[in-house]
Structure 1
Amino acid sequence: MGLTAKGANLVSGEDTTLNEIKKGKIKLVIISQDASDNTKKKFIDKAKFRDIDYVIFSTKFELGKAIGKNERAVIGIKNINLARQIKNLIGGEAFDENESL
């Protein structure tokens, strides 16, 4: 994901990701397992409403570390090809927090 961040194909943080979802620029939403229930619900609902794939994966610490930043509860992937590759690597289909990889 670090390469994705360098290429401006990724946004992180709740506000920025939400704005980019509303603009129709996000192809995959990655939500941390330890995000608050409210955050999970908000981003799952937004993703479903806009027919955007999402995964719940890893921790805020690990997501932030993967992109060279502090903790991040939410990451949005803008490039469709990278979104597909990441989704395939971390779990394939969209799933919720009650399912396992």
Structure 2
Amino acid sequence: MSKPNKALSYLGLAMRAGKLAFGEEGVLKAIRSGQARLVVMSEDASDNTRKKFLDKCQHYNVALSENFSRYELGAAIGKEARVLVAVLDSGLAQLIKPCLVKPPEVEPIE
């Protein structure tokens, strides 16, 4: 199983375990209350949403990753399109984080 598919599978597992917050208000509440361990934002989030959650996650010291499309995130958790999800369990967050690392850009050899 490839790394992105593994991350999406773990997000589905977190959803079934009840350890996921989603939607702008739910994720914001989880960040402010200190429950969020990892926030995954879709790559196609609006600029306003991106800035708001980059600032919030930085202020509250929560890991943030921009991966997948809103439709991939939604499908992984059994919902329609979702732009933001927050993992509330530290064990699951530790499983998901290594799967979200994008490979470094490889420069072409001339």
The TM-score with structure 2 as length reference comes to 0.81
Give the number of the structure whose residues are more often helix, by fraction.
2
Q: How far does residue 25 in structure 1 lie from its aligned partner after superposition?
A: 0.4
Task: Show the counterpart of 1:46.
Answer: 56
Q: How far does residue 81 in structure 1 lie from its aligned partner after superposition?
A: 1.1
In 2, distance between residues paired with 1:32 and 1:52?
A: 16
1:76 and 2:90 correspond: no
Task: Show the counterpart of 2:76.
Answer: 66
Identity rate of aligned residues, in percent? 36
Across the aligned residues of Structure 1 and Structure 2, the Cα RMSD in angstroms comes to 1.4
Counterpart of 2:71, as a letter, is F
In 2, distance between residues paired with 1:51 and 1:15?
A: 18
In 1, distance between residues paired with 2:93 and 2:55?
A: 19
Give 4+ residue runs of structure 1 displaced > 4 Å after superposition: none
For the residue of structure 2 that corresponds to 1:83, the secondary structure is helix
Please list the CA deviations of residues 16-54 of structure 1 after superposition, one character each: whole Å capped at 9, or x if unmatched.
110111111000000100000111111111000011101
Where do 5+ consecutive residues of structure 2 fail to align? 1-10, 106-110
The TM-score with structure 1 as length reference comes to 0.88
* Count of equivalent residues: 94
Where do 5+ consecutive residues of structure 1 fail to align? 93-98
Q: How far does residue 3 in structure 1 lie from its aligned partner after superposition?
A: 1.2
1:14 and 2:11 correspond: no
Structure label with greater radius of gyration: 2
